[in-house]
Amino acid sequence: MTHPWFAASAAPRVLAHRGFVPPDAEGIVENSIAAVAAAHGTGARYVESDCQVTSDGVVVLFHDDDLRRVANDPRPVAAVTHDELHRLMARRGGLLTVADAMAAFPTLRFNLDVKVAAAAERVGRIVAPHADRVLLTSFSDDRRRRALAAARTRGGEPATSAGRTSIARTLAAVTTGSSALVRRALVGIDALQVPERHGRMRIVTRRLLDAAHAAGVEVHVWTVNDPADMTRLLDLGVDGLVTDRAEVAVRTVAGRA
């Protein structure tokens, strides 16, 4: 059965990458309250975000390991308290914890990337009551599985997308042409979230899409900001676009309906 996370809209899906920062916005940064609210305002049903942990153990929506790029502060996120980060983000759109995101945006689906090991079990426990609208992922399959296991201890079963090792196994299986090997590589996986290319290697191909779809798995491509690329990938048959330009992607998808 399809996980409820996918029921917010029919494919193709728009996943607002770290929320949405309008091109003319001043002072708003990614993953903030304002950015997630702006993504919601575009009509996007899905928000892709990232999980870091503060020094006092609060899981926050934040991509980078440190504050340098977002707040011109060299400290790691793990070295500041929640209150310190809250003050820093107050003039940048507002800090969102994972718990606050679940409460403040009850109609949004979240695609949460577990960035650090310290976040894995914490994220799982927090999202367990909201598992119908959460997809957990990580480049690390170990972190992803730990987060899922923690959610299950609280009675939740979030959706999940493949980590780096699972993706590599899937790509290898696709080259063999064996549907059985592809299905084995994708056991317990709901989505593949991949870039179109990795260096010179093309990842998103019709062959991959057909193999994933035959196994009941969606393919979401990141990070797609050009309208022509959006259209080309949708024509190819991808199921979701992870994008910084949610407003453009929503219009592009709606124009094809």
Active site residues: 17, 63
Nearest 10 degrees: Cα torsion 8, 14, 15, 19: -100
Q: Which two tokens stand for residue 235?
A: 């024509």
User: What's the one-letter identity of residue 160?
Assistant: T
- Rounded CA separation 25/48 (Å): 20
User: What's the one-letter identity of residue 13?
Assistant: R
- Rounded CA separation 18/86 (Å): 17
User: What's the one-letter identity of residue 215?
Assistant: A
Q: Which of 218, 249, 219, 220 is nearest to 3 (CA)?
A: 218
